[in-house]
Structure 1
Amino acid sequence: MGDCGDLHGSCLCGGIRYRAALPVFHASHCYCSMCQKQHGAAAGSYANVASAGLVIEQGAQLVTEYASSDDGRRDFCRVCGSTLFWRSTASPDRIAIALGTLEPEYSGPVERELFVENKPAWLPCG
């Protein structure tokens, strides 16, 4: 999951590169309608880490924030649109990193599923 005790990742166009300090507090699949819309997928999949350990190594000027609700902020690349981070205004000490942006891919467990009542019927069984 990265060297030097860090996770590493980037957006689709490579304009933004980041690292985040371990540990991962938990990883989750969120099936809320906002995550589904933002990701264009069944869920938003995230690793929850300490926000103090997140460093944008390249392309900080490309990170764009969208206030999707009073409680949530979503960060994405303004060039390619890649979803990068989700933050709760109630928990500024944590940040959720989109698992699909990690390099190498995340190898830890996903312990939580959120808003399972919104899990799409078209997902495969099992």
Structure 2
Amino acid sequence: MMADTGDLHGSCLCGGIRYRAALPVFHASHCYCTMCQKQHGAGAGSYANVASAGFVIAQGQDLITEHHSSDDGRRGFCSVCGSNIYWRSTESPDRIAVTLGTLEPEYAGPVERELYTDTKPAWLPSLKPAR
């Protein structure tokens, strides 16, 4: 867990959405599920898991579109530029996972988890083992 206090800050590609998320980060992860791969157009979706109570859309709430990608999964993105902002589960409403690529400045904490490694593309490298 990232023990710092304060906030993470992020925005979408077009700048229409700006958000903040209160620290701490409970964990950061790379998710290799096929839904994350398709949503991000990449080998993984990378997220910082934070408390949903500390997540605030500071600008552009009306630009957020949510896609119900599964029975409990909701993926929030910018309706203008398509930037992926967050993933949340209706089964865990106390947490939200913000996308690492939207953070300003870039995320400086560790990425401790790899999820759904059974669908991880063979062309991606693995995380270094923890010491």
Shorter-normalised TM-score: what interval? over 0.9
**1:44 is matched by which residue type in structure 2?**
G
Task: Report the Cα distance in structure 2 between the residues aligned to 1:113 and 1:88, rounded to whole angstroms.
Answer: 18
Q: Which runs of 5+ in 1 are unaligned?
A: none
Residues 1:89 and 2:87 aligned together: no
Q: Which runs of 5+ in 2 are unaligned?
A: none
Return structure 1 stretches of 4+ with deviation > 6 angstroms. none
After superposition, the C-alpha distances for 1:49-85 in whole angstroms (9 at most, x for unaligned) are 0000011111000000000000200000000000000
Residues matched between the structures, number: 125
Question: Could you tell me the TM-score, scaled by structure 1's length?
Answer: 0.95
Task: Report the Cα distance in structure 1 between the residues aligned to 2:63 and 2:9, rounded to whole angstroms.
Answer: 17
What's the secondary structure of 2:123's corresponding residue?
coil
Give the match for residue 33 of structure 2: 32
1:121 to partner: Cα distance: 1.2
**2:26 is matched by which residue type in structure 1?**
F
1:102 to partner: Cα distance: 0.1
Question: Could you tell me the TM-score, scaled by structure 2's length?
Answer: 0.91
